[in-house]
Structure 1
Amino acid sequence: MTTTHSSAALRVPPAAPADAVAFFTGRLTFQADVSDVRASLDSGDLGFVLVDSRGAEGWQQGHVPGALHLPTPDIAARAATLLDPAVTVITYCWGPGCDGATRAALAFAQLGYRVKEMIGGIEYWIREGFPVETATGTEQRPVDPLTSPIGSVTCAC
């Protein structure tokens, strides 16, 4: 039975529960957020390689400590010499306004790698107060209270 709503948020009705399970499971299958990536890096129990897919200028400006620099245009030619195909790859690029990490993830998937995209990219990594490596050392900015709780590594969601 379909109910008509005057609510703008419900003009298109929500999906059936089984469809919602499939959709949200799919999103979690293809994406990891910066807090989960950070928690994994901190634990030392990675199970993945984190790949920064930006160009040289972006990498030099600042990157996630421990990330591998492999720009998207170089993936097809260099991935096999740098990465074990049995290890999952998590890609990141600039941020939510950039689909570079998505293009990088596609390139890895086309080569047979299991892959996820770190949503939020380096932008949200920095906004959540996590450290970045630069040419001058490690830097860390204060947490942006619009993106993460101050004093916590995770939003506890």
Structure 2
Amino acid sequence: MPTPVQSPEIQAFAQGFPITLLHGGVTVLILLAAAALYVLLTPHKEISLIREGNTAAAVSMGGVLVGLAIPLAVSLHASTNLIEIGLWGAATVVVQLLVFRLVDIVLRGLPRRIQDGEMSAAAMLVGAKLSTAIIIGAAVSG
């Protein structure tokens, strides 16, 4: 009779857990890099605005993070290796960055409106980010 440490379940966990940490870690790094890229590409400086108490900027940035995380999580689930995670991650990030531009075109002056604390503009951006993230996630999952 095998000891508890030799059980197939423990052995499977011991082999799979490091891979899980690696894949999850890479996905979190993609999320952080995408968020940093988003902050660099947008004309308004979300972090400074959030530190100053701008609620619209905080809501907008929260929507960006969740909007990036949903398709990244689905791509993590659908991928079998780091290359797939990276490819799907990069593709979903590009689409989400384009969504900001599209909403900016529709709302005219989105960065200024968020900078001015306009919650309606932030809510619209969050809605666009989340709806796009759900669709992208479904497309990635096949």
Provide TM-score, normalisation by structure 1: 0.22
Specify the structure having the higher radius of gyration (Cα).
Answer: 2
Q: Which has the higher strand share?
A: 1
Considering Cα pairs closer than 8 Å and 6+ residues apart, tell me whether 1 or 2 has the greater RCO. 2
Provide TM-score, normalisation by structure 2: 0.24
